[in-house]
Amino acid sequence: MDSIFQGRIFEVVQDKNREFVRRAPGTRLIIHDKKAEKVLITHEMRYELGEGDYRLPGGKVFNTLVEYLDFLKSGRDIIEEAKKAAVLEARQEAGVLVDDIKFFAKSICGATVVWDLFYFIVDKFHLAEEQQLEEGETIEVN
C-alpha cells in the first residue's frame, strides 16, 4: 500500500484493489454522574456545519498524522495514549477532572475511512472551576 497524499490529519492510501482515507484516532468520553443518573454531553459549535452539534466530549489522540504514524512505528500501546488524551479532553472541553477512567470500546469508522475512536467511561470525577477551551472552540456542557 502506498500513501498517495498526506494532509495534516488525513492520508489517502491506495493499492491495486482499493483506496481509503486514514485519519489520526480520536477519543470520546462517557462521563456518568451516578448520583444524578445522568450522562454529560456537550453542545459544540461546528463551524464546518454552520451550527451546533450535541456530542460526547472528546478529541484527537494526536494533533497530526505525522505524530500518529510515528507512534504506530513505536509499538507502544495506543489505549494508554488514548487514555491520556481523553483525560486532557475531559478537562479542556467539559471542565471535568478525572479521578478514574476505564477503557470501554474502540469503534472503527467505515471501510473507506479508517478512523478509530476510543471510548472511555468516567464515573469518578470532580468539576474544575472552568473549561480550558482551545482558541476558537465554543462548547457548552449539558
pLDDT band at 11 (very low <50, low <70, confident <90, very high): very high
pLDDT band at 47 (very low <50, low <70, confident <90, very high): confident
Nearest to 82 by CA among 65, 70, 66, 68: 68
pLDDT-above-70 percentage for the chain: 100
Alpha-helical segments (H) within the chain:
65-74, 78-89
pLDDT at position 121 over 90: yes
Is pLDDT larger for residue 89 or for residue 48?
89
Could you give phi then psi for residue 59, rounded to 5 degrees?
A: 180, -155
Note the pLDDT of residue 15: 83
Q: Which residue has the cell 498524522?
A: 65
**C-alpha cell at position 140:** 457548552
Model confidence over 67-102: pLDDT tens digits? Answer: 999 999 999 999 999 999 999 999 999 999 999 999
Please say whether the beta carbons of 99 and 126 come within 8 A.
yes
Mean pLDDT, rounded, of the chain: 91
**C-alpha cell at position 36:** 444524578
Rg of the chain taking only CA atoms, in angstroms: 16
First to last CA, the chain: 43
pLDDT at position 110 over 80: no
Strands (E), the chain: 2-6, 10-14, 19-23, 26-33, 38-40, 42-46, 51-55, 58-60, 96-108, 113-114, 116-127, 139-141
Q: Which residue has the cell 493499492?
A: 15
**C-alpha cell at position 132:** 480550558
**Quick one: 2-141 is in which CATH superfamily?**
Nucleoside Triphosphate Pyrophosphohydrolase (3.90.79.10)
Average pLDDT of the segment spanning 111-137: 89
